[in-house]
Amino acid sequence: MNVTETSLSGVFLIEPRVFPDDRGFFFESYNRERFRAAGIPDEFVQDNHSRSKKNVVRGLHYQEPNGQGKLVRCARGAIFDVAVDLRSGKWIGVELSDQNNRMLWVPRGYAHGFCALTEADLVYKCTDYYAPQSERTIIWNDPDIAIKWPIAEADAIVSDKDLAGVRLRDAVMPTLV
């Protein structure tokens, strides 16, 4: 497993060791000991799976209180995955796909969102339970963050709930313990 810290402190790109053969492939998507050794000490309490059509944009989501760290991977298709540091507004975007098998570790204190580049299945582990009363959304196209999404804004398919997101400057900031 290759773990690389991104330009955002605490956000890691994880590339598992893949064992392909004529039947397909195998890789270990999570091993607590290896993740802890790489600097990702969190325990996971919930797994989620979402399917999105091409051009669906989800996010930018976080919880406050009850912040969640997320270990994200694309099990089918391809996504442009984004983590936003809520303190600075800086962001990182990476392609995760069923071809590259990469994962992104998004710690508490960061908002998370993605754009489906194809029809895609996203699976992710969370360090805290989903708490609807704590759910927060920053608008996906906040000009202060200026994410360079790989699709035209007119082509984005965004839920009404996500369209009601606030700008970062109006967001409830997370409490990091």
**Residue 143: cis peptide before it, omega within 30 degrees of 0:** no
Q: How many helices (H) and strands (E) does the chain have?
A: 2, 13
User: Can you give the length of the chain in residues?
Assistant: 177
At 53, the amino acid letter reads K
Strand partners, 110: 85
| Whether residue 130 lies in the annotated active site | no
**Catalytic-role residue among 30, 61, 62, 112:** 61
What is the distance, to the nearest Å, from the Cα of residue 161 to the centroid of all Cα atoms in its chain? 18
Structural tokens at position 146: 């200026």
Strand ranges across the sheet with 46-52: 2-5, 12-15, 103-106, 70-76, 120-126, 46-52
| Whether residue 61 lies in the annotated active site | yes
CA distance linking residue 62 with residue 131, whole number of Å = 10
**Catalytic-role residue among 110, 112, 124, 129:** 124
CA distance linking residue 140 with residue 143, whole number of Å = 9
Catalytic residue annotation: 61, 124
